[in-house]
């Protein structure tokens, strides 16, 4: 069970040096620019006239220039809905910009879609927020050790 009002709140602090937080055994992180930073959607209203909607990420455009994507979605009947679809496309792109994988000791409280805050000074991560998008529970028989592998995405 989760609380919808606290969906983006940090639930766990994960830290490399042992300081009362959860410990990271291994971690890999990457931050990239999005493939698309401006979306332009073309729809059609009930009379057959075109409707348009657009959304953009100004910060990304300032960093890397405009990366435009046109899509024709004839089932979209209004400009407001076309704008919503354009915003949704950019939101989906934003989810893939920040990723990572960490290996931690078993944490039975960890759940999918939890927001975690990671401090890993060796990897230049200081209180960086991620969302857990995948969980793997592994047993290493040679070391007789259980480990959680958390796949991380943008919060």
Sheet containing 125-140: give its strands across.
22-23, 10-15, 115-120, 125-140, 145-153, 98-104, 26-31
H/E element holding 103?
strand 98-104
Residue 96 has a pLDDT of 81
Residue 13 has a pLDDT of 65
* Predicted confidence (pLDDT) per residue in 135-154, tens digit: 999 888 898 889 999 999 98
Residue 8 has a pLDDT of 63
Confidence of residue 121 (pLDDT cuts 50, 70, 90): confident
3 pLDDT higher than 50: no
CATH architecture assignment, domain 4-32+97-153: Beta Barrel (2.40)
108 pLDDT higher than 80: yes
Environment class of residue 115 by beta-carbon count within 10 Å: exposed (0-12), middle (13-18) or buried (19+)? middle
- In this structure, of 8-12, 43-47, 65-69, 134-138, the range with the lowest mean pLDDT score is 8-12
Residue 48 has a pLDDT of 92
Most confident by average pLDDT, 6-10, 24-28, 78-82, 123-127: 78-82
Report how far residue 18's alpha carbon sits from residue 135's, in angstroms, rounded to the nearest whole number: 22
Q: Where are the domains of the chain?
A: 4-32+97-153, 38-94
């Amino acid at each position: 069970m989760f609380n919808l009002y606290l969906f983006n709140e940090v639930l766990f602090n994960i830290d490399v040096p042992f300081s009362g937080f959860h410990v990271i055994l291994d971690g890999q992180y990457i931050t990239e620019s999005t493939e698309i930073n401006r979306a332009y959607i073309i729809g059609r209203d009930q009379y057959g006239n075109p409707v348009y909607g657009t959304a953009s990420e100004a910060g990304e455009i300032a960093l890397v220039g405009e990366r435009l994507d046109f899509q024709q979605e004839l089932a979209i009947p209004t400009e407001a809905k076309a704008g919503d679809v354009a915003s949704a496309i950019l939101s989906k792109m934003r989810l893939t910009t920040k990723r990572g994988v960490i290996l931690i000791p078993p944490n039975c409280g960890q759940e999918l879609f939890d927001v975690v805050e990671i401090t890993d000074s060796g990897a230049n991560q200081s209180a960086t927020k991620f969302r857990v998008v995948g969980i793997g529970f592994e047993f290493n028989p040679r070391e007789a050790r259980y480990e959680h592998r958390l796949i991380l995405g943008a919060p």
